[in-house]
Amino acid sequence: MGMERYLSQVAVREIFPSGQKKIESASVVVIGMGGTGSSIAEMMVRMGVKDIKIVDDDIIEDSNLNRQAMYKESDIGLKKVDVAKAELLKINEDANVDSIDQRLTFGNAEGILANSTLIMDGTDNYNARSVINAVSYKLKIPWVFTAVEGTFGYVKAIIPGKTSCLSCFGYPDKGEGVSCTIQGVLPSAVKAISSIAVTTAMKIILGNEKSGDLVYIDAWTPRMEALPIPRNEYCNVCGERKDKDA
């Protein structure tokens, strides 16, 4: 596969020309292969990420198909990571796709996340994000937080030692979250959040992400806003004074 596939993105001044080499040499882990995670993984592979690890223990259900474009009716009942791996390799046969049929926990996270360039959050619950936040800080690996609810969602770059982390602004560290069929989620909002998340990831890979703002996107309004989140020196994950009295 030659550079012809990537000519249109290489022509973007923010990438041209050396940025494509950085993208192709990145090692990315995508946690969760639902709506946001599968969209993120697809865009990553299409843009040239050659080393990608996908993590999920769920099976494909009929209720997934309205927003999880990686899957089809014939895939119902199959493992998400198995179908996703096959589809990603159809998109880019040069990619190295490692599929892990597990739920991320504090027990397995270091083994899964170690040695990666970047971690992408495609999860739907507080427990998993708490694991990613704590372990990524320990391993000094940047990650991108995503969340979608109804018509809106959030994206945040978290770069250990440089930006605030998820715990800095009091994000819950426990809980399974609420099912999409209960809280509701607009499929186009999933795509919007995924697109901003991948753009944020590319900025991290290229060394251009500095702020770590919490980006709010409402696909229905439409509206987009960046909310500054300063580092909390007493944060129980990344705070420099976390072991001292407030």
Average model confidence (pLDDT) across the chain: 93
Q: Which two tokens stand for residue 240?
A: 């420099």
Give the domain 3-227 fold.
Rossmann fold (3.40.50)
Give the pLDDT of residue 181: 53
Write out pLDDT tens, residues 65-83.
Answer: 999 999 999 999 999 999 9
Are 150 and 186 spatial neighbours (Cβ–Cβ below 8 Å)?
A: yes
Write out pLDDT tens, residues 189-245.
Answer: 999 999 999 999 999 999 998 889 999 999 999 999 999 999 999 999 999 876 655
Give the pLDDT of residue 246: 46
Neighbours of 12 (CB within 10 A): 11
Write out pLDDT tens, residues 80-107.
Answer: 999 999 999 999 999 999 999 999 999 9
Q: Which of 49, 42, 45, 76 is nearest to 191 (CA)?
A: 42
User: Residue type at 15?
Assistant: I
H-assigned helices in 31-184: 35-47, 80-91, 109-113, 126-139, 180-183
Given a cut of 60, whether residue 177 has pLDDT beyond it is no
- What's this model's pTM, rounded to 2 decimal places? 0.94
